[in-house]
Amino acid sequence: MTSSDRQTLRGTALLNDPFLNRGTAFTTAERRALGLEGLLPPQVETLDRQAERVLAHLDAKPTDLERYIYLSALVDRNETLFYKVLMSDPARFVPIVYAPTLGEVCKSFSHLYRRPRGMYISLDMKGRIAEVLRNWPVPDVRFLCVTTGGRILGLGDIGANGMGIPIGKLQLYTACGAVPPHTTLPVQLDIGTTNAALRADPLYLGLRREPPPEAELDAFVEEFVAAVQEVFPACCIHFEDWKGTDAIRYLERYREKVLCYNDDIQGTASVTLAGLVTALRIKGEQLSDQNFLFLGAGSSALGTSDLLVTAMEAEGLTVAEARSRIIMMDVKGLVEPSRTDLTEAQRRYAHAAAPTRDLLETIRRVRPSVLIGVSTAGGAFTQPVVELMAEINARPIIFPLSIPRPECTAEQAYGWSDGRALYAAGIQFPQVLRGDMVFRPGQANNFYIFPGLGLAVYATRPRLITGAVIIEAAHALADQVSPSAQARGMLYPPQSQILEVEVTSACRLAEYLFENGMATVPRPEDIRAWIEGMCYSPEYGAIAPAEG
């Protein structure tokens, strides 16, 4: 339905439109003019009063999964009220509409399904993708988050059940970055699934087939990317949770051709770099002085490593010197040259060493100052591992980033390191008390990066997102951790201030894009005022009363 079509809605049709519906907030005059008399209780309420009722309902729910289901129903009937609630307390609601609750949602997405949200583009639409995309009612889509469901939050290939991720990601564009929600579009690219249990589930909503061979998939993705350029020419494609090898291949193929980025690769790399920059400020050291050990050698590890190499180059190292400081392990052991199963991207980090699958032995050999977990192996950073890191480092940097099961908890990291660890995880842990010390663990989560990046892209309309922009996003975030917060061991700004953080990051990124000739719009005199003027605010706007 177009904007002009919506202006003609009356009565129950208006109440059933989540973009225009305001429920009990319709005024007496609006009710009379728009055919709503008798369809609502007589009391006229403010948006704040409506939000109060929603918060009371949420407080009564027994689990975050139930809260997610309630909020999903809310956004389907009143989008403004939904965002009013989310933006009132991001620290509370981000973990509900995103990780870690979203992992539980995706496991049962087909069973929890209520009504469509976003678009499902499946293999049987080959040759017609542009035609199908035109069924979307909004012509000016600016952000399209697309997944195949091939690698979701450590759950593996869950096919069409992965649709919960694009939905949640784009809601954070708005809740954390104030990107107008009507400009966003979640997309499930349904290519089938390797998950036999899902294919056998009678309630599964996706294609019941194996994914196609690589050549066929490449042709399908090529048509999809071309169709997006045709139908939504100002759109940024946000690749999300694709199988690792596909994620790397498509980022390399399209990053210099169309406006796109991969959040699992570049977003994870950027937020990790931001946390490392802050941790090293606390230690008084440089990035190029560190040795890094990754547990996990997939797309997240490789993307983060590549960004670290670029950042260390800026500090004076050669590419070879920077790569030599990065060691990787995966489920098959140390990434080293004798392995025959390595991808081309992994071989860049395959350094001469004796094969081993022993993490402790590798730590003793390498003596890393930074230990990063992107393995999806919850609990892999055991007490001996953390104690050894603390033995060889006065302030070990430990980032267990796997979601939803990190390699160790905050309490474990602080306890096993005698409170000396500089810690951030992929999920948020509560503060930890040890004696008279209070530790505030950070959350190295991509929502610190992509909403601000999205707001900057929305405002400046660049043609590409370069690696330098991703590094700038990391520094824009790190520079917002004050010295007093660093003194308390904090590596990221408080989540309660996330909207302010993202707007500040967006302003800095916009400045960078203008200075480097990447923006395609005129530069304003006051960038912050200009960007703040574009920010979405969850308020009820005017509705033109229909005639008659």
Residues belonging to the binding site for a divalent metal cation are: 240-241, 264
Please name the residues in contact with 388: beta carbons below 8 A apart, sequence gap of 6 or more: 360, 363, 364
Query: What residues form the annotated binding site for (S)-malate?
Result: 151, 445
113 is known as an active-site residue: no
Cα–Cα distance list, 82 to 51, 68, 73, 173, 462 (Å): 8, 11, 9, 14, 30
Query: What residues form the annotated binding site?
Result: 151, 240-241, 264, 445
- The Cα–Cα gap between 333 and 376 comes to 15
Please name the residues in contact with 129: beta carbons below 8 A apart, sequence gap of 6 or more: 121, 223, 224, 227
- Exposed/middle/buried for 310, CB within 10 Å: 0-12, 13-18, 19+? middle
CA angle 404, 302, 304 (to 5 degrees): 70
Q: Name the amino acid, one letter, at 377.
A: A
- The Cα–Cα gap between 129 and 11 comes to 35
Q: How does DSSP assign 152-181, residue by residue?
A: -TTS---GGGGGHHHHHHHHHHHHHH---G
Q: Which of 68, 84, 169, 492 is catalytic?
A: 169
CB-CB neighbours of 542 under 10 Å: 6
Q: What is the dihedral of CA 388, 392, 395, 399, to 10 degrees?
A: -50
261 is known as an active-site residue: no
Q: Which of 83, 98, 204, 448 is catalytic?
A: 98
CB 70 within 8 A of CB 57: yes
CB 479 within 8 A of CB 461: no
CB 142 within 8 A of CB 234: yes
At 121, list the tokens: 């583009």
By annotation, the residues acting in catalysis are 98, 169
